[in-house]
């Protein structure tokens, strides 16, 4: 014991020595480091401050141009300037004279060729001169936008000026010319430009230079420097990198200076500001002296504090060592007493609490480990039993057996809850008497302990003596049952059923004891849900198999019906076309013979004979017209059937919609003129190509024109084609009777026509628009109708713009697009 105490004493002395010497050394080094760090930080702050001030000054210079730019921009956006004549522009300059007096070098307006069209002040001999070689105009032609020039000979007579130019843009943002204001080099407050720079007080504690991209000085604190070269300055190269920076260097007189430089936004100029280095760092010297005093105190005071503090700390540490040795020997009965009022006292309190907790843990650890092992074993055994089967009844029977065994109960019953009615279905029981089984078979949720389980979703227990008087309580007492417990069988927060177990002993479980039954209920509930999902999967697979067979049968029937329809249409078309051709031929022969041989022989003075001849001729025309209509119906039916069956032969190629429209108007010209109507065709000049079958698109346009003729009694049929987004859009507009909204929805259906009676409907097959819809949609396009009764109709369709996929497509467009003759000299009509 003496040796231990002697060792603690030596430890105390070592701590004091080790704390004092390193602390003194560290604090001294910290003092030196702080001194040099402060110097370095002070210099860095000076650099950063000068760099930021230079950048801000450059930004202020740029901001000072706003008034000049705004006034020029206002002038350029005046309608008299951007779309007026030179005379209008001169009047606009005259009206804005008061706002433009800031430009002591004058204001000039140039057109898009660089010719001077207006000046302020008025200078007639400058009008018409070409200034396209001036730098500001060349820059504006390359990239229209704000231009602020260097010092250059851009003045009216070629003198050095600084120019601010803005573009004159038209309504469509096209380049129409330049508005430029000029400043002479005159560093006095009388000059608006230099007066603004002087007011900014740039370089008030040193020298400042505003230098253009040609290294010529625009502004300086020394007016005699303006216009001279900046090349002799030490930073003549570094300052023109386009970056903000600061350097310590020497001027031409050998004086240490700090030079900040920054580009002026929106210009190619650079601002250079010089400051005397001594003036910049003079204020930090007093701070350094104070720092040295503080650092000396920082070494001495901590040394004293460490010496005293170590002695106060090591005392309680000795007590901790003694207590830890006793605890390691199994003695938990000696608490530590420390009255320091700080963390050491709190540490002693926590140490004593830890000793008490360790004592309790040692006493209860083995019991709790054994209990937890038993619980896990029980849960594993239940999980193993219920996971053996996917049959719901078997799962519940096995779960009941294992639950009674694990919980050491005498009897029990398992119930399944109907999802819809919440009725209890007894699945199985074990250990219950016949009378008890009969009673629980018809029990309801409200009269059972299961009601409490459903409400709380937790296991519940009840003593038999607490049951209300009745047959159930009487039977349980006769069977000597004392305790009843109910366990919810849950999955996904839903109670699927319950297991009720009973015991002939007085068992009143605590909340901890109910944790095991709750886990058992979760295990069995998950197994029930798995069985339900399995059964649903089996049922779904069976239903899907039935549906698949039904779908295959329906598809076979549909394919047979479609084949029968195709065969029927092919046969009917053949059977109809053959006699129709004969009828056409016979009718034309009869008509020709009558006109060439019979009619000339008839006496022209016999009115009755001429009337009969005319009637015969009319009847022959009816035969030809109706036969032609029937032939068109057959062709339309065959086309529609081919499209729907996917048998249509599509000849897709790059196509010019304009050519298609002109060919359609040529084809239908006789039809339109025969009805006393006229065309108006409008085709955009920049209309791109589309990839389509030209014959089918021609068929669509002819259908739409024919449809317009049917509905138009008089007036003009307008046909337009233009680009809309990524599509080419075609419109056929008539001035007919219009179409009611109720009829529009069915207009693109097969055999659909507008009208309430057969006499009110126009002649036609009712298939033209349906075929047009199929053709357009096959090309990835869309077709629609806009109409109001009495206001005419507009039929429109749109096709995607053709995008070439190979160089051949774009290099040889003329080889794939048929040249068709254009009707008329313009797009105003056909």
**Burial degree of 300 (CB within 10 A; 0-12, 13-18, 19+):** exposed
Which of the four pLDDT bands, split at 50, 70 and 90, describes residue 811? very low
Mean pLDDT calculated for residue range 458-483: 85
**CA-based nearest residue to 149, from 141, 158, 157, 137:** 137
Lowest mean pLDDT among 547-551, 757-761, 785-789: 757-761
Mean pLDDT calculated for residue range 486-503: 86
Encoded tokens for 254: 């050998």
Q: For the beta carbon of residue 455, count every other beta carbon within 10 angstroms.
A: 10
Residue 719 confidence (pLDDT): 95
| Tens-digit pLDDT profile for residues 118-172 | 999 999 999 999 999 998 998 888 888 899 999 999 989 889 999 999 999 988 8
Dihedral of CA atoms 137, 138, 142, 148 in degrees, nearest 10, equals -60
Q: For the beta carbon of residue 105, count every other beta carbon within 10 angstroms.
A: 23
What is the Cα–Cα distance from 590 to 582, expressed in whole angstroms?
A: 12
Residue with tokens 């001027």: 251
Residues counted in the chain:
830
Q: What share of the chain is helix, strand, coil (3-state, %, to 5)?
A: 55, 20, 30
Going by C-beta distance under 8 Å and a sequence separation of 6 or more, which residues neighbour residue 443?
A: 424, 472
**Burial degree of 715 (CB within 10 A; 0-12, 13-18, 19+):** middle
| Tens-digit pLDDT profile for residues 643-687 | 766 667 888 999 999 999 999 999 899 889 888 899 899 999 889
Report DSSP letters for 490-520, one per residue: EETTEEEEEEEEEESS-----TTTTHHHHHH
**CA-based nearest residue to 457, from 408, 417, 403:** 417
What is the Cα–Cα distance from 453 to 487, expressed in whole angstroms?
A: 7
What is the Cα–Cα distance from 820 to 812, expressed in whole angstroms?
A: 17
Mean pLDDT calculated for residue range 340-345: 67
Q: Which alpha helices (H) appear in 65-147, and where do they start and end? A: 66-76, 79-82, 86-95, 97-100, 135-142
Residue with tokens 């002695």: 311
| Tens-digit pLDDT profile for residues 619-632 | 777 777 667 666 66
What are the structural domains, with CATH classification, of the chain? Answer: 65-183 (3.30.450.20), 192-281 (3.30.450.20), 374-537 (3.30.450.40), 650-816 (3.30.565.10)
* Sign of the CA dihedral running 7, 8, 9, 13: positive
Lowest mean pLDDT among 293-302, 559-568, 772-781: 559-568
Encoded tokens for 345: 């006292």
Q: Is the pLDDT of residue 781 over 90?
A: yes
**CA-based nearest residue to 719, from 778, 647, 667, 655:** 667
Partners of 415 in the β-ladder: 426, 498
- E strand or H helix at 486, and its extent? strand 483-491
**Burial degree of 728 (CB within 10 A; 0-12, 13-18, 19+):** buried
Beta strand ranges found along 216-278 (DSSP E): 217-220, 245-250, 256-263, 270-276
**CA-based nearest residue to 308, from 20, 116, 92, 589:** 20
What is the Cα–Cα distance from 517 to 424, expressed in whole angstroms?
A: 20
**CA-based nearest residue to 705, from 740, 738, 679:** 679
Mean pLDDT calculated for residue range 479-487: 86
Percent of the chain with pLDDT over 70: 72
Q: How far is CA 168 from CA 108, 360, 530, 763, in A?
A: 12, 92, 77, 60
Q: How far is CA 56 from CA 61, 200, 218, 473, in A?
A: 9, 11, 18, 94
Q: How far is CA 156 from CA 68, 180, 216, 409, 414, in A?
A: 19, 12, 21, 115, 108
Contact 829, 662 (CB under 8 A): no
Q: How far is CA 2 from CA 272, 326, 336, in A?
A: 79, 18, 21
Better pLDDT: 381 or 817: 381
Q: Is the pLDDT of residue 515 over 80?
A: no
Q: For 397-421, give one letter per residue: b (16+ CB within 10 A) or e.
A: bbbbbbbbebbebbbbbbbbbeeee
What is the Cα–Cα distance from 748 to 784, expressed in whole angstroms?
A: 9
Partners of 209 in the β-ladder: 220, 272
Residue 733 confidence (pLDDT): 94
Q: Is the pLDDT of residue 14 over 50?
A: yes
Q: For the beta carbon of residue 16, count every other beta carbon within 10 angstroms.
A: 17
Lowest mean pLDDT among 35-49, 66-80, 159-173: 35-49
Partners of 321 in the β-ladder: none
What is the Cα–Cα distance from 680 to 692, expressed in whole angstroms?
A: 24
Which of the four pLDDT bands, split at 50, 70 and 90, describes residue 390? confident
Q: Is the pLDDT of residue 805 over 70?
A: no
Residue with tokens 């900040």: 260
Report DSSP letters for 656-686, one per residue: -HHHHHHHHHHHTHHHHHHTT-EEEEEE-TT
At 717 the three-state DSSP class reads: strand
Mean pLDDT calculated for residue range 13-20: 63
Say how far residue 617 (Cα) sits from the centre of its chain: 72
Strands 116-120 and 147-148: unpaired
- E strand or H helix at 34, and its extent? helix 2-64
Which of the four pLDDT bands, split at 50, 70 and 90, describes residue 370? low
Q: What is the largest CA-CA distance in the chain?
A: 166
Query: For the chain, what is the radius of gyration of the CA atoms?
Result: 52
Going by C-beta distance under 8 Å and a sequence separation of 6 or more, which residues neighbour residue 7?
A: none
Report the Cα–Cα distance between both ends of the chain, in Å, rounded. 126
Residue 329 confidence (pLDDT): 64
What is the Cα–Cα distance from 525 to 490, expressed in whole angstroms?
A: 4
Encoded tokens for 584: 């056409």
Q: How far is CA 514 from CA 499, 624, 806, in A?
A: 13, 98, 77
Residue 205 confidence (pLDDT): 63
Residue 252 confidence (pLDDT): 66
What is the Cα–Cα distance from 598 to 315, expressed in whole angstroms?
A: 149
Lowest mean pLDDT among 86-100, 228-242, 331-345, 709-723: 331-345
Which of the four pLDDT bands, split at 50, 70 and 90, describes residue 299? low
Q: For the beta carbon of residue 329, count every other beta carbon within 10 angstroms.
A: 8
């Amino acid at each position: 014991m003496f040796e231990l105490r002697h060792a603690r004493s030596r430890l105390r002395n070592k701590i004091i020595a080790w704390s004092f010497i390193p602390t003194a050394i560290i604090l001294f080094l910290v003092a030196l480091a702080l001194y040099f760090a402060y110097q370095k930080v002070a210099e860095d702050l000076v650099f950063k401050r000068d760099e930021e001030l230079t950048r801000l000054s450059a930004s202020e210079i740029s901001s000072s141009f706003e008034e000049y730019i705004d006034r020029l921009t206002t002038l350029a956006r005046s309608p008299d300037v951007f779309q007026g004549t030179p005379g209008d522009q001169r009047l606009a300059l005259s009206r804005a004279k008061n706002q433009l007096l800031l430009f002591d070098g004058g204001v000039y307006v140039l057109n898009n060729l660089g010719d001077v069209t207006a000046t302020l002040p008025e200078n007639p001999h400058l009008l018409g001169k070409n200034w396209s070689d001036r730098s500001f105009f060349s820059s504006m032609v390359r990239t229209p936008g704000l231009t602020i020039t260097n010092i250059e000979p851009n003045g009216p007579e070629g003198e050095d000026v600084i120019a601010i130019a803005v573009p004159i843009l038209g309504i469509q943002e096209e380049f129409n010319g330049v508005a430029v204001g000029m400043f002479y080099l005159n560093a006095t407050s009388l000059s608006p430009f230099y007066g603004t720079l002087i007011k900014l007080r740039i370089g008030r504690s040193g020298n400042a230079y505003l230098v253009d991209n040609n290294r010529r000085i625009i502004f300086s604190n020394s007016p005699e420097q303006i216009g001279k070269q900046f090349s002799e300055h030490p930073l003549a190269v570094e300052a023109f990198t386009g970056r903000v920076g600061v350097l310590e260097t020497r001027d031409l007189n050998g004086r240490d200076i700090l030079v900040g430089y920054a580009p002026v936004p929106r210009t190619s100029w650079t601002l250079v500001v010089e400051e005397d280095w001594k003036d910049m760092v003079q204020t930090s010297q007093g701070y350094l002296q104070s720092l040295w005093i503080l650092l000396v105190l920082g070494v001495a005071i901590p040394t004293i504090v460490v010496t005293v503090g170590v002695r106060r700390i090591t005392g309680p540490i000795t007590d901790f060592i003694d207590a830890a040795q006793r605890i390691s020997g199994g003695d938990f009965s000696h608490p530590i007493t420390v009255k320091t009022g700080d963390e050491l006292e709190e540490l002693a309190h926590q140490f004593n609490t830890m000793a008490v907790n360790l004592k309790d843990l040692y006493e209860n650890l083995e019991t709790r480990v054994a209990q937890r092992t038993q619980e896990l074993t029980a849960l594993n055994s239940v999980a193993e039993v219920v996971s053996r089967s996917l049959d719901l009844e078997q799962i519940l029977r096995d779960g009941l057996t294992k639950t009674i065994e694990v919980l050491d109960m005498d009897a029990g019953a398992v119930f399944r809850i109907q999802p819809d009615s919440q009725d209890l279905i007894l699945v199985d029981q074990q250990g219950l008497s016949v009378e008890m089984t009969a009673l629980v078979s018809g029990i309801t949720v409200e009269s059972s302990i299961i009601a409490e389980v459903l409400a709380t979703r937790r296991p519940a227990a009840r003593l038999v003596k607490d049951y209300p008087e009745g047959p159930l309580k009487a039977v349980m007492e006769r069977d000597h049952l004392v305790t009843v417990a109910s366990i919810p069988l849950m999955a996904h927060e839903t109670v699927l059923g319950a297991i009720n177990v009973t015991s002939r002993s007085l068992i009143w479980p605590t909340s901890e004891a109910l944790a095991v039954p709750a886990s058992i209920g979760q295990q069995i509930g998950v197994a029930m849900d798995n069985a339900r999902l399995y059964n649903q999967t089996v049922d779904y697979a069976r239903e899907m198999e039935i549906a698949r067979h039904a779908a295959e049968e329906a598809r076979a029937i549909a394919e047979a019906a479609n084949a029968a329809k195709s065969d029927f249409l092919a046969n009917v078309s053949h059977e109809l076309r053959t006699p129709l051709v004969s009828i056409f031929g016979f009718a034309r022969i009869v008509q020709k013979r009558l006109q060439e041989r019979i009619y000339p022989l008839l006496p022209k003075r016999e009115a009755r004979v001429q009337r009969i001849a005319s009637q015969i001729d009319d009847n022959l025309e009816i035969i030809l017209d109706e036969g032609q209509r029937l032939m068109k119906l057959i062709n339309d039916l065959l086309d529609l059937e081919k499209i729907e069956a996917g048998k249509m032969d599509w000849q897709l190629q790059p196509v010019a919609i304009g050519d298609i429209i002109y060919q359609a108007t040529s084809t239908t010209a006789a039809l339109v003129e025969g009805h006393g109507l006229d065309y108006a065709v409008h085709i955009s000049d920049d209309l791109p190509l589309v990839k389509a079958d030209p014959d089918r698109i021609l068929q669509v346009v002819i259908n739409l024109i024919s449809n317009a003729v049917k509905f138009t009694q008089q007036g003009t049929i307008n046909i337009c084609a233009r680009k809309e987004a990524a599509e080419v859009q075609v419109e056929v507009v008539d001035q007919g009777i219009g179409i009611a909204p109720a009829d529009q929805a069915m207009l693109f259906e097969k055999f659909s026509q507008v009208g309430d009676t057969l006499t009110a409907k126009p002649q036609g097959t009712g298939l033209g628009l349906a075929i047009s819809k199929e053709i357009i949609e096959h090309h990835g396009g869309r077709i629609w109708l806009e109409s109001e009764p009495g206001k005419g109709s507009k039929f429109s369709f749109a096709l995607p713009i053709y995008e070439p996929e190979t160089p051949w497509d774009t290099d040889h467009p003329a080889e794939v697009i048929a040249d068709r003759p254009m009707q008329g000299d313009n797009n105003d009509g056909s």
